[in-house]
Amino acid sequence: MSRLLRWLFFALFVRPLVLVILGLNVRHRERLPKHGPAVLTANHNSHLDTLVLISLMPLGQLHRIRPVAAMDYFMRNRALAWFSTQIIGILPIARQRRAPDEDPLAGCSAALAQGDILIFFPEGSRGEPERLAEFRGGVARLAARHPEVPFVPIFMHGLGKALPRGEALLVPFFLDVFIGESLCGREHVDNFLPCLRRSIEALRGEGRFASWE
């Protein structure tokens, strides 16, 4: 039932919202993974980021798309927890270890092992539009643990304007999404995080966007 409800939510609500009300221009769409395991890594400015990234993938793969998010944010109440995990497909992880031997990335590894496609925001939390915050080390540790898995850099523009952090009112604003060439931990063992950041910054440069108003 949850799988059907998820399909209906994205087919009847999310895709019309993204494609019709907002408008979406995707560059280098052919670089998106056709199947998992894989990790989509993108800048993070808005609650819409996850929905837009999921909408890029075929509806038939929805059950394989797992956005990674902080457990404490989405587990505040039962209704939000159910909607986040069953409809959005959130894979919740703890921000901090609750025990010395706890592995925060265990769920991510398990999902990749079964062929899922993760959505991972290297900045951790939502930042200011057009400004990349410092990348945290979780994505690099995941890449080192799964050296053969492709990590796809993505830059999104416009979502910080359409639904910025701290706002609840959606403003129609055209969205641009740039897909980069995938990186693998085996190719960038010692400098994965800097390489990923450079890739996303290069994608931002392709847009030649004016400064945020």
pLDDT along the chain (213 residues), means of 10: 90 87 89 96 87 93 92 74 90 74 88 97 72 84 94 88 59 83 85 93 83 53
Residue range 23-35, pLDDT digits in tens = 889 999 999 999 9
pTM beyond 0.85: yes
For position 126, what pLDDT does the model report?
Answer: 59
**Separation of alpha carbons 119 and 77, rounded Å:** 23
Alpha helix segments (H runs only) across the chain? 2-9, 15-16, 48-55, 71-74, 78-82, 106-113, 138-145, 159-162, 192-207
What's 182's DSSP letter?
P
The residue ranges of DSSP E strands in 76-171, in sequence order, are 91-93, 117-120, 150-157
For position 168, what pLDDT does the model report?
Answer: 54
Contacts with 131 (C-beta within 8 Å, 6 or more apart), sequence order: none
Residue range 83-110, pLDDT digits in tens = 888 999 999 887 666 666 778 899 999 9
For position 203, what pLDDT does the model report?
Answer: 94
Q: Which domains does the chain have, with CATH numbers?
A: 2-207 (3.40.1130.10)
For position 97, what pLDDT does the model report?
Answer: 64
Place of tokens 């999404």: 177
